[in-house]
Structure 1
Amino acid sequence: MKSIYKITGLLLAFTLTFSSCDEQNLLDLNTDPNAVTDMDMAFLFSLATLRIGGEYENTRANMLYAATMIQHSSSLAGYFSGDKYFYNAQYSGAYMERHYTDVIKLYSHVIDKTKDSPEDANLNAAATVLRIYDLHRMTDLYGDIPYFQAGRGLEDEANWFPTYDNQKDIYFDMVDQLKAARDKFSPSAKGLGVQDFVYGGNLDQWKKFTNALLMRIAMRMSNKDAAKAREVFIEANNSGTFSSVADNGYIQYTTGPIGNNRNGLNDGYWNTYKYSQDCKISKTFIDWMKANNDPRLMIVSGGLGDPTASADTWNTDPAAQRGMPNGYNTQTLRTILSPSELAEFEALQPRGNRMFAMLNLKYLDWEDPYVLITYAETELMKAEASIKGWITTDANTHFRNGVSAAITSWVDFDPTFARSTAEINAYIDGRGFVAASDADKLRIIGEEYWAATWLNDIESWSNWRRTGYPVLTPTQDPNRFEANEIPRRLRYWEAEIGGNPANYEAARVRMGGDNLMTKMWWDGGN
C-alpha cells in the first residue's frame, strides 16, 4: 500500500509540474521544425483569387439557389433548392464554409504580411480590393457576418470566435477600405505581373475595378441611405471607372484542378456533375428574350435536345426555344402541360426535361472567364444614377452603352457569340427606353441588369432584392421552407450554431431571425 501511495504521489507531482510548464512548450510539441516558415505572398494572392470561382460553393449558392430563385434557370429536381424555396443546410451555408476558411483567410494573411512594405503596396491593395469584393458578396448573401475579425484566426485567439458585425457598419467600412486601397496602387511599387489573374498587373484597370465595386456598393445601399450612396457613387464615378468591355473584371482561368485553375461554376454546371442534365433555362427568361427579340437568345440557349449527343441533333431554331417553368417537379409539371406537350414529355422519358432549352455548352468550358463585374453593369448603374439626379451625364447614352456591352462581351466566351451592330441597335431601340417615363426607365434598367448578369446570379439576386426588377411571380410548391415568396437571404452555415454560439445568437436576434425571408439592412423590399 505504501508503494501505491508513493507512485501516486510521484504521478501527482509530475502532473502538477507538467501543468505548470509554460504553455508555449506544449504548443511547440506540435511544431514541425522542418516546416516552411515563409511563403510567397503573391502566390497566396493568386491562390485566393482562383478560389473565388471555386466549384463547391458556386454550384450551391450561385447555381442551385440564386440562379433558380431569380428565374434565370429552372429544374424539376428537388435538390435545386432555390427553384421551390427549399432549405438545404449544406447548400445554404456553403459560401460561408468555404470562403472564410479559404479565400478570406488567404487574403487577410497577405494583407497583414504586406501592410508595412512599400515595395508590396500593389499586392496589398489588390488583395484588399478582392477581399472586400468577397466579403461584399458574403454580407449580401447572409446579412450580418464576421467582418472585422474575418480570416484572422491564426493571428490571435481573440479571433477564434469572431463577432458578427452589423451590415451597415460593414458597408461603411467597405467604402473606406476600397478608397484606401485604390489610392495605394503605385507604379513605383513592385508589379503584380503574371500572378494577377484578373488584370495581369495593369494598375489603371485595378483602380477602375475598385471604383466599379464602390458604385455597386453605393447602389446597393441606396434605398436605405440615399445621401451616403449618392456621395460614394459620385466620388467613385469622378475617380474613373470602366470605359469599355476591355475593362471587364474577370478571373482568367485555364484548365486545371477543381477549385484552382479552372472555372468552378462551369465545372459544376457541366463538366463533372449531373446538374446540367437536371438544369434548364427558365421559361421566365426565355419568354422575356423572345418577347423583346433579344439577340442573346441563342447565346444563352444551346438549343433543344440531348446535350450529350452531337450538336447537329439539337434544335437551334430561335422560335422553337422553350423555357422550363419554375416551381414544378416531374409529377406537377404534367398538370400544366398541353396535351401535345405532355405527349412530348412522356416520349422523352426518363429525360422529359429535354423538351426545354438547355444551357449553351460554349460558355461552360473550364477555361472560360469567371465574371466579377463588367462595363455593362457600370453603365447601367450610371443610367440609373442619372435618372436619380446623382450625375449629369445622359441616361440614354449610358443605357445604350450598357446594353450593347452586355451583348458584345459574350465574345469573351466564344467567338461565335458575336452579334452585328445592326442587331444590337435594333434590340436597344426596340426596348423603348428613350421615350419611357423615369419610372419605366428604372424598370427597363432593372430588366437589362438581370439579363447582363446571367451566370453571375448572386449579383442578379441582390439587385432584384434592391429594385424589384424584373417583376417575378414566386413559385408555389406546398413543401417550401417558409413562404411562397422569393427568399431574401440564405441561412448561416449551421456549424456556427454550435461552434460560435454566442455571436451567432446575437446576430440572429439583431437581424430578427436566421431565416430565408429575414430582410437585411439594405433590403428595402419589393
Structure 2
Amino acid sequence: MKNIKKYLSAALVLVFIMSSCNEDNLIELNINKNASEEIDLSYLLAYGQLRVAGARYENWRTNLIYCSTMIQHNASLQGYWSGDKYYYNAQYSGAFMESHYTDAIKTLTHVVDQTADVPELVNLHGAATIMRSFDLHKMTDLYGNVPFFQAGRGLDGAENWFPKYDAQSEIYAALISDIKAARDGFDPSINNLGSQDILFKGDTEKWVKFANSLLMRIALRMSKVNPTEAQAVFVEAAGGAMTSNDDNAFLAQQNGPAGDTNQNGTSLVLSNAGGGGGDASNGRVSEFLVNWLTDNNDPRKMIIVGGTGDPYNSTTWNTDPDSQQGLPNGYTSQTITAINPDFESVNEYSFINREILDLDDPYPFLSYAEVELMKAEAAVKGWLSSDPEAHFVAGVTAAIQSWEAFGISNAASASEISTYIAGLDFAGASDAAKLELIGEQYWAATYLNHVEAWNNWRRTGFPAFTPTSDPNNITGGTVPRRLRYYESEAGSNPDNYQSAVQAQGPDLLTTRMWWDVE
C-alpha cells in the first residue's frame, strides 16, 4: 500500500510538472489550425445586405405594426398593432434600433473599415459604404439623433462601447459625404463582386445609380431645413440616378431560412410563422387606401387587394373589385361595432393580395418610380428645368409596372395605365395640386416599403388622411412623428441617451426631428 501511494504521488507530481511546462502546448490543442482566421469580406457584404432587409422580428414591428398602419396603408383590429391606434409598445418601437445596430450595421461597418484605402477592394468598400449609409439613414429617420460615427465599432476599442448620439444634421452631412465618396470610387475594371453582391450582382453602374437615387431621397428629406444644400445635392445626383425599373434596388429573396425570406410575407401570410401571427389575425388593406384606389380608378386595386373572405380558404373569397371594403384604421374587434353594428369577422374586410407576399418576392429598398416622382417634385419647385409632367407620367407608370417583379397574374396593360394617368389631369393642376398628386403617388408607390411612405408623409403631409382616435392613444390623436428609442438605452448608455433627449426633445412619439418641420 505504501508503495502504491508513493507511485501515485510521483505520478501526480509528474503530471503537475508536465502541465506547467507545456501550458502553451495545451492551449494550442484548442486551436483549429485548419480554420480560417479571417472571414471573407465579400461574404460579409452579402450577409449585411440580407440583414438590411431584416428579419421578421423588426419587419413585423417596425415596417408593419407601426409604419404600415400609421400611414394608413394597412389597418388592424388587433390591439397590439400599436401604430394603428397610436399606442406605445417599447419592444415594437425599439425593434429596429435593437436589431440593426448589432447586426447589419456592425457587419457592414466592419467591411467598410477593413476595405478602406485598399485599392483592389474599392468596389467592395463602395457597396458596403452605401448599404451602411442606407441603413443608418433609415435609422435616423425613424428615431432622430442616433449613434452614427461610432456605430458598429464596439470591437475597435472601449471608447466605442457607449456610443454618442450624433445630431441628425451632422448625420445627414456625413451621409452625403460618405455616399458621394463611395459612388465616385467604383471601378468596373477590378474586383467584380459577382454573386456575393446579392443586390446588383457586381454591376457598378447600378451601384452608382442607387447611390445617386439615395442622395436625391436624402436631399428632399432635408429640403425644408437646408434648402440650398438640398437643391445642390439633388441636382448633382439627379443626372446619374435610376433610369428604368431594371435599376430598382429590390433585394432578391428566397423561400428558405429566416435570413433570406421575404419578411413581409412571413408576418402577413404564414400562420404562426416564428411565433404567432398570420394574415387572418393581422393587417388588412386600410379603408383609406381602398377608397383612394377606387375613387381614382387605380389599376393597382386588385394588385394590392386580394379580396374579402378568409385568406386561407379560397372558396370564401370575393374578388369582385366593386365589392372590396377596406378596414377602417383605429378600431379593435370590440370598438369596430360603433361603425359596423353587424360586425362578425375581420373577413368582411379586404385582405392583402397573397401574390405580393410570397416568401421569394423581392424586398424593396428604393425604386425608379420614386426617382421620377422625386424629379417631378423638384421640377415643380424649380430645382430642375425638365418637364414635371414627363417625370410624373414616368413615375406612375414605373410604379404600376414594378409589381411585375412580384410575379402577379393581373398586371395592368399599357393602355390601362395611360388611361389612369390621363384621368389624374396632372397638366391641368395648380402647382400646389401637382405637389399633392406627386405625394399621393409616392405613397402608393411605396406600398410594402411602409417606413419610406411614413417618412415622406411626415415631410409633405400627403396624402391627407384623418388621424385615428382610439381613446387610449398617447399622442393626443395625432400621427406619431418618430419612434421611441430602444428602451434598454436609458439604462445601458444613460449619459448619451440623456444627452440625445436634451438635444432633440422628449423621447416621445410626438417629438419632431431636425428635418420634420411644419
Q: CA deviation at 1:146?
A: 0.1
| In structure 2, C-alpha distance between the alignment counterparts of 1:48 and 1:435, rounded to whole Å | 46
Aligned partner of 1:306 in structure 2 is: 310
Aligned partner of 1:13 in structure 2 is: none
Aligned partner of 2:150 in structure 1 is: 149
| In structure 1, C-alpha distance between the alignment counterparts of 2:418 and 2:387, rounded to whole Å | 17
* 1:282 partnered with 2:283: no
* 1:493 partnered with 2:496: no
TM normalised by structure 1 equals: 0.90
| In structure 2, C-alpha distance between the alignment counterparts of 1:55 and 1:189, rounded to whole Å | 36
* Kept in 2: contact 1:81–1:88 (CA 8 A): yes
* 1:320 partnered with 2:323: yes
Q: CA deviation at 1:365?
A: 1.0
Q: What number of residue pairs does the alignment pair up?
A: 485
* Aligned-CA RMSD value: 1.5
| In structure 2, C-alpha distance between the alignment counterparts of 1:166 and 1:139, rounded to whole Å | 9
TM normalised by structure 2 equals: 0.92
Report Cα offsets for 1:144-196 as digits up to 9, x if no partner.
00000000001111000000000000001100000000011101321110011
Aligned partner of 2:243 in structure 1 is: 243
Report Cα offsets for 1:389-433 as digits up to 9, x if no partner.
001110000000000000001010014142111110111111111
| In structure 2, C-alpha distance between the alignment counterparts of 1:163 and 1:409, rounded to whole Å | 40
Aligned partner of 2:8 in structure 1 is: none
**Structure 1 residue identity aligned to 2:468:** T
Aligned partner of 2:37 in structure 1 is: 37
Aligned partner of 1:336 in structure 2 is: 339
Runs of 4 or more consecutive aligned structure 1 residues displaced over 2 Å after TM superposition: 31-37
Q: CA deviation at 1:116?
A: 2.6
* Alignment of structure 1 residues 93-132 onto 2, 5 Å: 93-132=94-133
**Structure 2 residue identity aligned to 1:460:** A
* Alignment of structure 1 residues 171-320 onto 2, 5 Å: 171-238=172-239, 240-258=240-258, 260-271=259-270, 272=273, 273-278=276-281, 279-310=283-314, 312-320=315-323
| In structure 2, C-alpha distance between the alignment counterparts of 1:401 and 1:201, rounded to whole Å | 27
Q: 1:504 aligns with which of 490, 497, 500?
A: 497
Aligned partner of 1:17 in structure 2 is: none
Q: CA deviation at 1:118?
A: 1.1
Inter-CA distance 80–32: structure 2 relative to 1 (3 Å threshold): farther
| In structure 2, C-alpha distance between the alignment counterparts of 1:116 and 1:447, rounded to whole Å | 44
Q: CA deviation at 1:270?
A: 1.5
Aligned partner of 1:23 in structure 2 is: none
For 2:325, what is the secondary structure of its paired residue?
Answer: coil
* Kept in 1: contact 2:310–2:317 (CA 8 A): yes
| In structure 2, C-alpha distance between the alignment counterparts of 1:144 and 1:261, rounded to whole Å | 30
For 1:372, what is the secondary structure of its paired residue?
Answer: strand
Report Cα offsets for 1:204-235 as digits up to 9, x if no partner.
01100000000000000001111010000000
Inter-CA distance 524–417: structure 2 relative to 1 (3 Å threshold): farther
Report Cα offsets for 1:244-264 as digits up to 9, x if no partner.
111111110112211x12112
| In structure 2, C-alpha distance between the alignment counterparts of 1:56 and 1:459, rounded to whole Å | 18
**Structure 2 residue identity aligned to 1:255:** N
| In structure 2, C-alpha distance between the alignment counterparts of 1:37 and 1:108, rounded to whole Å | 19
Aligned residues with identical type, % of pairs: 50
Task: Show structure 2 runs of 5+ residues with no match.
Answer: 1-26
| In structure 2, C-alpha distance between the alignment counterparts of 1:178 and 1:96, rounded to whole Å | 22
* Alignment of structure 1 residues 439-518 onto 2, 5 Å: 439-518=432-511
Report Cα offsets for 1:79-126 as digits up to 9, x if no partner.
100000000000000000100000000000011111132111101100
Aligned partner of 1:18 in structure 2 is: none
* Kept in 1: contact 2:266–2:278 (CA 8 A): no
| In structure 2, C-alpha distance between the alignment counterparts of 1:322 and 1:136, rounded to whole Å | 36
Q: CA deviation at 1:330?
A: 1.3
Q: CA deviation at 1:483?
A: 1.8
| In structure 2, C-alpha distance between the alignment counterparts of 1:32 and 1:211, rounded to whole Å | 49
Task: Show structure 1 runs of 5+ residues with no match.
Answer: 1-28, 347-351
| In structure 2, C-alpha distance between the alignment counterparts of 1:482 and 1:233, rounded to whole Å | 34
Inter-CA distance 183–330: structure 2 relative to 1 (3 Å threshold): same
* Kept in 1: contact 2:309–2:348 (CA 8 A): yes
Q: CA deviation at 1:32?
A: 6.4
| In structure 2, C-alpha distance between the alignment counterparts of 1:267 and 1:315, rounded to whole Å | 24
**Structure 2 residue identity aligned to 1:206:** W
